[in-house]
């Protein structure tokens, strides 16, 4: 799609400060004796040199997550199952379930962070009598595949989506509209008028205009069978169609025309497949971007995919990888086949071009088979996305309102299992998964992902540590593994500008310093992030501090602790300030929340 690209879906603008800057900042809070000893020694106790310490993480690099939905014989969700109730198999081999989480029937409200007054000028304090921030409990992304949707299907589904939002968007919910083309989008909001306005703008936006006079007319699936499978029936049927449009309809009777017609097939197949792959790339990439956008948002996360389906036969389109991304972000993908009720084409039905090929009933039957098989293959991706993430797949029905009622519902009860395959080879091969109940009861239906692809490399420790830090920043959960106190204060600047100052105090005595070359070695990563009422991270700052402390300095810091300060520019409004500290030697993290109001 030349000249078009998706707009950036932001997560948070985290500014990373250098270790030298952080060191200068932390010295301002050291006892006077510590600074003097650092200057008298030939080796500084705090340096600006970047290091790559060893991290010890709770989650293994090859851990596979599986979301499981269990229903009884009447289709009702089964609650109350425990870890020992499940059996999990990887390539038919039983696996040890390393993590298990049961998600209950109702979304829990986000914790209300306590507000705390600044200890400086009371007039500039952030303490407020305003109602505390309650972050949204449910996020729904409506994803319209406008690259593949036809106008009639899009018009029907966008109207049904509007009716669904009017009757089902509750207080505390946020909805967004995304498209595979990247156009006509609106980020998460509870503004129904804005959502309706954007829905009314949706139009089909194919990658390239469809050439209805293409000779011969080929579907993406026919092209795939011609190029990659060299299917004789499909090739001969395409050559027969090419003879009709290139010779018969043009009134040509010269002996060269049949050869010319046959030579048209492969170039058209290659062009059709290239266009199809480009469109599939846009549809898959749009889903990845939504998963990235939903990273760290509080509450429940659901993506509703509205699409006629598309082919993912090429190896470059790894649906399993997308499923894994959704599972790790706790996202359920529900899918609605926008084609509605479609009937498989019986032999002899008419299409835009007659399927009857005189004297060749085998080619006629082959064309019908390809059309029917293509419809199913295009729907396979919708079924897999829903099934493997514990979602709902609505198809083969014209009751679009009922469809949105089903795919728009948030999961009531589901389970998340995780396992670490032993001796996993880094070969990228497909592994089949199967989940059963321990009693092997056939009275229950189990919905779970059916496979995953082995990784091709092991992520380095620093990358894994960064991922764990990101998860903690966006999780909203509080932790005091390292005792952490946070105070906030805002200051008014020129022209109505304002800044929030966040002062964090750490208990150094709880840090696991390591002895090396007569020094006490440790590293801290400190992140201060600011979230708005919608749960979006609007700005933040990250500091990296490296310690090589003398024993006398460490003794003083064990008594006094250390403090750091971060300043963030803000606009008027209510915010949640989140402070996260990660130490390198043991991989421990602490996190604290504070609420601030900027008048």
Summarised one tens digit per residue, pLDDT across range 212-264 is 789 999 989 999 999 999 999 999 999 999 999 999 999 999 999 999 999 99
C-alpha torsion sign, points 86, 90, 95, 98: negative
Residue whose tokens read 């909203």: 476
The whole-angstrom separation of Cα 68 and Cα 327 is: 11
Both tokens of 392, joined, read 């709902």
The whole-angstrom separation of Cα 357 and Cα 38 is: 90
What is the DSSP secondary structure assignment for residue 113, as one 8-state letter? P
Residue 458 confidence class, pLDDT cut points 50, 70, 90? low
Nearest to 45 by CA among 555, 586, 564: 555
Nearest to 543 by CA among 562, 564, 522: 564
Element (H, E) at 425: none
Given this model, what pLDDT does residue 31 score? 43
Residue 442 confidence class, pLDDT cut points 50, 70, 90? confident
Given this model, what pLDDT does residue 155 score? 96
Tens of pLDDT, residue by residue over 106-116, are 444 333 333 33
Element (H, E) at 319: helix 319-328
Strands 589-598 and 573-583: antiparallel
Is 132:109 a contact under the CB 8 Å cutoff? Answer: no
What are 138's strand-pairing partners? 173, 300
Nearest to 115 by CA among 470, 494, 565, 500: 500
Nearest to 96 by CA among 105, 108, 83: 83
Nearest to 327 by CA among 451, 199, 214: 451
The whole-angstrom separation of Cα 173 and Cα 194 is: 15
Nearest to 252 by CA among 262, 265, 261, 239: 261
Q: How many Å separate Cα 6 from the centre of its chain?
A: 15
Average pLDDT over residues 91-120: 62
Tens of pLDDT, residue by residue over 360-376, are 677 777 777 878 888 88
Instruction: Outline where 228-299 has alpha helix (H).
Output: 232-243, 257-293
Nearest to 105 by CA among 353, 269, 300: 300
Residue 460 confidence class, pLDDT cut points 50, 70, 90? low
Measured N-to-C along each axis, helices 151-168 and 192-201 cross at an angle, to the nearest 10 degrees, of 170
What are 416's strand-pairing partners? 67, 101
CA–CA distance from 222 to each of 210, 234, 259 (Å)? 16, 7, 20
Both tokens of 357, joined, read 């090929």
What is the DSSP secondary structure assignment for residue 247, as one 8-state letter? I
Element (H, E) at 400: helix 400-407
- Residue 152 pLDDT more than 60? yes
The whole-angstrom separation of Cα 355 and Cα 462 is: 59
Sheet holding 562-570, edge to edge: 484-492, 498-506, 562-570
Could you give all domains of the chain from N- to C-terminal order, each with its CATH number? 14-58+460-598 (2.60.40.150), 138-209+270-407 (3.40.50.410)
Tens of pLDDT, residue by residue over 392-410, are 999 999 999 999 999 998 7
Burial annotation 71-94 (CB, 10 A radius, 16+ → b, else e): eeeeeeebeebeeebbbbebeeee
Average pLDDT over residues 155-182: 93
Residue 456 confidence class, pLDDT cut points 50, 70, 90? confident
The whole-angstrom separation of Cα 441 and Cα 2 is: 54
- Residue 121 pLDDT more than 60? no
More confident residue, 282 or 213: 282
The whole-angstrom separation of Cα 486 and Cα 569 is: 18
What is the DSSP secondary structure assignment for residue 358, as one 8-state letter? T
Tens of pLDDT, residue by residue over 329-359, are 778 999 999 998 875 554 334 344 444 455 5
Q: According to the per-residue pLDDT averaged within each range, which of 56-70, 350-364, 416-430 is highest?
A: 416-430
Is 537:593 a contact under the CB 8 Å cutoff? Answer: no
Given this model, what pLDDT does residue 19 score? 44
Given this model, what pLDDT does residue 17 score? 52
Given this model, what pLDDT does residue 2 score? 38
Give the list of residues 6+ apart from residue 15 with CB closer than 8 angstroms, or none. 539, 540, 541, 542
The whole-angstrom separation of Cα 266 and Cα 467 is: 46
- Residue 487 pLDDT more than 70? yes
Q: Of 72-76, 121-125, 225-229, 322-326, which gets the smallest average pLDDT?
A: 121-125
Give the list of residues 6+ apart from residue 566 with CB closer than 8 angstroms, or none. 501, 502, 504, 526, 528, 541, 543
Both tokens of 10, joined, read 């932001």
- Collapsing DSSP to helix, strand or coil, 585 comes out as coil
Is 336:408 a contact under the CB 8 Å cutoff? Answer: no
Given this model, what pLDDT does residue 495 score? 64
Residue 183 confidence class, pLDDT cut points 50, 70, 90? very high
The overall average pLDDT reported for the chain is 80
Q: Read off φ and ψ for residue 351, nearest 5 degrees.
A: -120, -165
- Residue 62 pLDDT more than 70? no
What is the DSSP secondary structure assignment for residue 324, as one 8-state letter? H
Number of neighbours of residue 465 by Cβ within 10 angstroms? 22
Given this model, what pLDDT does residue 505 score? 92
Given this model, what pLDDT does residue 153 score? 95
More confident residue, 528 or 314: 528
Where do the DSSP E strands lie in 166-273?
173-179, 186-189
Nearest to 486 by CA among 590, 400, 404, 573: 590
Average pLDDT over residues 180-200: 93
Given this model, what pLDDT does residue 350 score? 38
Q: Of 25-39, 232-246, 295-309, 508-522, which gets the smallest average pLDDT?
A: 25-39
Please state, for a pLDDT cut of 90, what percent of the chain lies above it: 38
Given this model, what pLDDT does residue 585 score? 84
Average pLDDT over residues 485-492: 86
Q: End-to-end CA distance of the chain: give it in Å, rounded.
A: 45
Please state, for a pLDDT cut of 70, what percent of the chain lies above it: 78
Given this model, what pLDDT does residue 256 score? 94
Given this model, what pLDDT does residue 347 score? 39
Given this model, what pLDDT does residue 490 score? 82
């Amino acid at each position: 799609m030349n000249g078009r690209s998706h707009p950036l879906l932001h997560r948070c603008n985290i500014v990373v400060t250098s270790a030298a800057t952080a060191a200068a900042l932390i010295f301002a809070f050291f006892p006077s004796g510590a600074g003097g000893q650092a200057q008298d020694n030939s080796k500084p106790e705090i340096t600006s040199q970047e290091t790559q310490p060893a991290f010890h993480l709770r989650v293994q690099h090859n851990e596979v997550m599986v979301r499981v939905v269990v229903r009884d014989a009447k289709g009702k969700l089964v609650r109350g199952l425990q870890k020992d109730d499940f059996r999990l198999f990887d390539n038919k081999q039983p696996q040890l379930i390393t993590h298990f989480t049961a998600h209950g029937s109702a979304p829990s409200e986000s914790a209300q962070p306590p507000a705390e007054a600044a200890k400086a000028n009371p007039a500039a304090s952030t303490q407020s009598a305003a109602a505390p921030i309650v972050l949204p409990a449910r996020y729904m992304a409506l994803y319209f595949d406008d690259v593949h949707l036809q106008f009639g299907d899009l018009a029907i589904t966008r109207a049904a989506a509007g009716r669904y939002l009017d009757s089902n968007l509750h207080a505390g919910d946020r909805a967004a509209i995304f498209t595979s083309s990247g156009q006509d989008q609106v980020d998460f909001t509870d503004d129904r008028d804005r959502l309706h306005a954007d829905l009314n703008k949706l139009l089909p936006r194919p990658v390239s205009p469809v050439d209805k006079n293409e000779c011969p007319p080929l579907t993406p699936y026919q092209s795939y069978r011609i190029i990659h499978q060299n299917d004789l029936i499909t090739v001969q049927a395409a050559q027969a169609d090419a003879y009709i449009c290139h010779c018969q309809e043009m009134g040509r009777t010269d002996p060269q025309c049949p050869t010319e017609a046959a030579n048209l097939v492969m170039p058209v197949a290659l062009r059709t497949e290239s266009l199809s792959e480009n469109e599939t790339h846009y549809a898959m990439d749009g889903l990845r971007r939504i998963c990235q956008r939903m990273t760290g948002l509080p509450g429940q996360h659901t993506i509703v995919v509205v699409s006629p389906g598309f082919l993912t036969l090429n190896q470059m389109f790894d649906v399993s990888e997308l499923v894994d991304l959704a599972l790790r972000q706790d996202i359920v993908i529900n899918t609605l086949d926008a084609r509605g009720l479609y009937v498989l084409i019986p032999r002899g039905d008419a299409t835009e071009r007659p399927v009857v090929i005189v004297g060749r009933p085998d080619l006629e039957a082959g064309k019908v088979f390809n059309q029917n098989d293509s419809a199913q293959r295009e729907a396979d991706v919708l079924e897999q996305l829903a099934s493997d993430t514990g979602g709902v797949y609505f198809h083969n029905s014209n009751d679009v309102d009922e469809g949105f009622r089903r795919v728009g519902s948030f999961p009531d009860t589901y389970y998340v299992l995780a396992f670490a395959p032993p001796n996993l080879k880094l070969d990228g091969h497909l592994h089949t998964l199967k989940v059963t109940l321990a009693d092997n009861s056939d009275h229950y239906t189990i919905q779970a992902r059916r496979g995953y692809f082995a990784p091709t490399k092991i992520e380095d420790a620093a990358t894994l540590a960064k991922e764990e830090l990101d998860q903690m920043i966006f999780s909203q959960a509080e932790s005091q593994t390292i005792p952490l106190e946070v105070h906030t204060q805002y200051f008014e600047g020129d022209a109505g500008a304002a800044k929030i100052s966040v002062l964090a105090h750490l208990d150094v005595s709880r840090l696991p310093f390591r002895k090396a070359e007569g020094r006490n070695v440790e590293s801290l990563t400190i992140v201060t992030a600011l979230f708005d009422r919608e749960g979006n991270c609007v700005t933040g700052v990250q500091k990296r501090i490296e310690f090589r402390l003398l024993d006398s300095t460490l003794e003083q810091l064990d008594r006094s602790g250390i403090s750091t300060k971060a300043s963030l520019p803000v606009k008027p409004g209510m915010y949640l300030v989140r402070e996260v500290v990660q130490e390198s030697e043991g991989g421990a993290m602490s996190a604290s929340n504070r609420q601030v109001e900027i008048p």
